[in-house]
Amino acid sequence: MKVLKDFNFKNKRVLVRCDFNVPSDEEGNILDDFRIKQTLPTIEYLIKKGAKLILISHLNRPKKKERKYSLKPISFRLEKLSNKKVKFLADCIGKKVKKEIEKMKSGEIILLENLRFHKGETENDENFAKKLADLGEIFINDAFGTCHRNHASIVGVPKYLPSGAGFLLGKEIEILSQAINQPCHPLVVIIGGTKIATKINIIELFFKKADHLLLGGKIAESFLVTKGVLVDRPPLEEKEILKKIERIEITNPKLHLPTDVKISLPSLEEKYLRRGAIGTLRKEEEIFDIGPETIKIFKEIIKLAKMIIWNGPLGMYEREEFEKGTKEIAEAIARNRSAFKIVGGNNTVMAITKFGLIDKFDHVSTGGGAMLEFLAGEKLPGIKALK
């Protein structure tokens, strides 16, 4: 796989696939710019080498073109962080885009609109990939967080342009490869969050590889419902996912699920909040955090770990009344100085940033699902495409 030093970028149009899929609110305001900052070394290097930079990225999962999913706010933040002028174009393909790119001079930066405003991106449409490739002369992938996707800008464009990895992608591969090839045991894997559909395969893989697998968030709840521990509740997942959950032995000593939780009614505006053991939950109550006994058990396991991999918060950390589980687990990880600590995923990074612990981790990955798949030994399409 080629890297930046393998190319001559002078006066070349360089198409850079970035991962600017940053958390934002309903108005499009950026809540965390960690991923933008991580791409700056590649951008600065290319400018120094006289390239004409064409930056492409996606944001969220829009079903149509919507203002709140526009990359325009990213261009303002990127200008501020890089101290360079960034021109934003309201599309990513077409005659107008091509005309503006043809006028570019060495050292200039253009950011194109959200790739996912075109269905050809997620469908890996060959024609869409060709149109993107036609904009540049060299393709650089610096979007590790999207390398597990078979999307046009990830696996299609490299078919048509000389391609290589940016600094960020190279760094992710190097550090995570070390974790795979030289794993330390006990290996503790912590998986939380809400998207079990994107994590169930990884949970199955780590169930075999890890010494301890700690589950929290909605993912743990799905296990508890499926296994009949939480009763009188409808299945939370589709049949295909339920089958995979059922295959995992809940009595296996390496699997750790919450024994107690923090509970509220569905409407958080109601002044109702209690802690309770899993078996005491009523069907109208919802889980928003792990409880003190679970925190205690998880912390004891974390204390003995030599390698820790964490993806996904353990509760609704955004609200003070439900942040304790995620915060105390983050602090427990930070206190373990003998373990190599890897964390990834937008919400997890936002959580450790909120708690002032981001510098306590050995590697903060820009990938969530991509990080987990890579560590589990999966071949990521985006990396394979560059080889």
Say if residue 244 is in the same domain as residue 304: yes
DSSP annotation string for 123-182 = TT-HHHHHHHHTT-SEEEE--GGGTTS--IIIIIGGGTS-EEE-HHHHHHHHHHHHHHHS
Three-class SS of residue 22? coil
The mean of the pLDDT values for the chain is: 93
Instruction: Evaluate the CA torsion angle 211, 370, 348, 63 in order and state its sign.
Output: negative
State the Cα–Cα distance between residues 374 and 380, nearest whole angstrom.
7
Domain that holds residue 300: 183-261+288-375
Estimate the crossing angle of helix 34-48 against helix 167-181, to 10 degrees.
120
Reported as a single tens digit per residue, the pLDDT across 343-372 is: 999 999 999 999 999 999 999 999 998 998
User: Residue 341 pairs with which residues in a beta bridge?
Assistant: 308
Least confident of 48-52, 122-126, 301-305, 346-350: 346-350
pLDDT of residue 236: 66
State the Cα–Cα distance between residues 140 and 374, nearest whole angstrom.
20
Number of domains in the chain: 2
User: Average pLDDT in the 374-379 region?
Assistant: 88
pLDDT of residue 188: 97
pLDDT of residue 112: 98
Say if residue 105 is in the same domain as residue 195: no
Please say whether the beta carbons of 160 and 36 come within 8 A.
no
Whether 267 maps to a domain, the answer reads no
Whether 87 maps to a domain, the answer reads yes
Reported as a single tens digit per residue, the pLDDT across 27-74 is: 888 999 999 999 999 999 999 999 999 999 999 999 889 999 999 999
Share of the chain above pLDDT 90, in %: 75
| Residue 259 DSSP code | S
Whether 387 maps to a domain, the answer reads no
| pLDDT surpasses 70 at 178 | yes
Say if residue 160 is in the same domain as residue 213: no
| pLDDT surpasses 60 at 269 | no
Please say whether the beta carbons of 12 and 47 come within 8 A.
no
Say if residue 370 is in the same domain as residue 243: yes
Say if residue 70 is in the same domain as residue 191: no
Whether 380 maps to a domain, the answer reads no
Say if residue 131 is in the same domain as residue 212: no
For the sheet with 260-264, list strands across it.
273-277, 260-264, 286-290
Long-range contacts of 5-11 (CB under 8 A, 24+ apart): 6/164, 7/138, 7/162, 7/164, 8/49, 9/46, 9/49, 9/50, 9/51, 9/138, 10/49, 10/50, 10/51, 10/106, 11/50, 11/51, 11/52, 11/106
pLDDT of residue 267: 64
State the Cα–Cα distance between residues 74 and 78, nearest whole angstrom.
6
Using DSSP bridges, classify how beta strands 286-290 and 260-264 pair: parallel, antiparallel or unpaired: antiparallel
Element (H, E) at 376: none
Whether 177 maps to a domain, the answer reads no
**Of 131, 147, 169, which closes a domain?**
169
The 3-state secondary structure of 166-192 reads CHHHHHHHHHHHHHHHCCCCCEEEEEC
**CATH number of the domain encompassing residue 31:** 3.40.50.1260
| Residue 107 DSSP code | T
The phi and psi torsions of 140 (rounded to 5 degrees) equal -120, 125
Say if residue 159 is in the same domain as residue 189: no
For the sheet with 307-311, list strands across it.
255-256, 212-215, 187-191, 307-311, 340-344, 363-365
- Return all residues near 160 (Cβ < 8 A) that are at least 6 apart: 129, 130, 133, 134
Say how many residues make up the chain: 387
Say if residue 72 is in the same domain as residue 204: no
Does the pTM of the predicted model rise above 0.85? yes
Whether 155 maps to a domain, the answer reads yes
Whether 243 maps to a domain, the answer reads yes
**Of 169, 193, 223, which closes a domain?**
169
| Residue 360 DSSP code | G
